[in-house]
Amino acid sequence: MNADEYKGWVGVFDSGVGGISVLRALVSELPQERFVYFGDSAHAPYGEKTPKEVLDLSHGIVERLLGAGCKAIVIACNTATSAAAAQLRAAYPEVPIIGVEPALKPAVLATPDGAVLVMATPMTVRLEKFQHLMEEWGSGARVIAVPCEGLAARIEQGRLQDADLVELIDSLVGSYAGSVDAVVLGCTHYPFVIGQIRQVLGGVPFYDGGAGTARQLKRRLEECGLLASEEAAGAVEFLSSKDTPEELALYQSFFEA
């Protein structure tokens, strides 16, 4: 990334391919904006690292995106939002920095007396941010939070139609089949395997944070007078710390999925 190469663009990042599920919501809400997406696939999965490691990795990425001229940052990763959003906002108070969090609120509001299953990375489930979310919304329904170790890393590999993926999901959450009324996808990788999760858990409603994040980005850009004009031509570009043609082709295929 060169200085000012992405001047006026929105920088979006995740540990790898997952944030592309958020990117799709961003493009749909704000088609006139230009988005540069950075996937840190060389260091995925974030959810099984320490919070300090994720903070340092996130900081390095944001520094590069801002150095390249980005006007706003979307942390398209629940794990990095939990580990780094507060510190990044403190470090760059002048920049709109939007995070993503498990969509527990809409799931609980729509499922007052039912059971809500939250699937997320081990770090997201463990950190304080999720504990606060549980304190705020967890009493409206019976909430079961399951750390899905290994699932984001498996999705990073692609080959989403292979049988081992459904087997992995079954080993993580299969015991809840038939006993949950809603599922929160609390990791941005998981919307890409919603079909496989449905095979295991059945046809209950699913919630993810993509659309809410896109609305929040729009609000913040409006507030800061940074929205691209209605007539502007939008754009999307992909960058990865695993910078190979195969990896970038994988990103493109997730974007078009």
The set of catalytic residues is 77, 187
22 to 41: interface string for ligand DGL, x by CB under 6 A: --------------------
Helix (H, G, I), strand (E, B) or coil at 159: coil
Q: Could you say whether residue 187 binds ligand DGL (CB under 6 A)?
A: yes
- Taking the C-alpha atoms of residue 196 and residue 205, their distance in angstroms, rounded to an integer, is 14
Contact between 68 and 36 under an 8 Å Cβ cutoff? The reply is yes
Exactly one of 6, 35, 37, 46 binds ligand DGL (CB under 6 A); that residue is 46
Q: Judged by CB, which is closer to ligand DGL: 15, or 111?
A: 15
Q: Could you say whether residue 196 binds ligand DGL (CB under 6 A)?
A: no
DSSP string, 115-157: EEEEEE-HHHHHSHHHHHHHHHHTTSSEEEEEE-TTHHHHHHT
Q: Could you say whether residue 251 binds ligand DGL (CB under 6 A)?
A: no
Q: Could you say whether residue 188 binds ligand DGL (CB under 6 A)?
A: yes
Q: What distances in angstroms separate CA 205 from CA 110, 163, 183, one per listed residue?
A: 9, 23, 6
Residues 6+ apart with CB under 8 A from 92: 62, 66, 73
Q: Could you say whether residue 213 binds ligand DGL (CB under 6 A)?
A: no
φ/ψ of residue 78, rounded to 5: -65, -40
Of the candidates 110, 182, 170, 200, the residue with the CA atom closest to the CA atom of residue 143: 182
Q: Could you say whether residue 47 binds ligand DGL (CB under 6 A)?
A: yes
- Taking the C-alpha atoms of residue 139 and residue 257, their distance in angstroms, rounded to an integer, is 36
Q: Could you say whether residue 58 binds ligand DGL (CB under 6 A)?
A: no
H or E stretch at 66: helix 51-67
H or E stretch at 11: strand 10-14
Q: Could you say whether residue 14 binds ligand DGL (CB under 6 A)?
A: yes
Exactly one of 75, 84, 152, 197 binds ligand DGL (CB under 6 A); that residue is 152
Contacts (CB under 6 A) with ligand DGL, residues 64-93: 77-79
Exactly one of 10, 44, 62, 143 binds ligand DGL (CB under 6 A); that residue is 44
Q: Judged by CB, which is closer to ligand DGL: 103, or 141?
A: 103
Q: Judged by CB, which is closer to ligand DGL: 15, or 196?
A: 15
| Binding region for ligand DGL (CB under 6 A) out of 83-91, 136-144, 187-195, 211-219 | 187-195
Q: Could you say whether residue 51 binds ligand DGL (CB under 6 A)?
A: no
Enumerate binding residues for ligand DGL (CB under 6 A): 14-15, 18, 44-47, 77-79, 121, 124, 152, 187-189
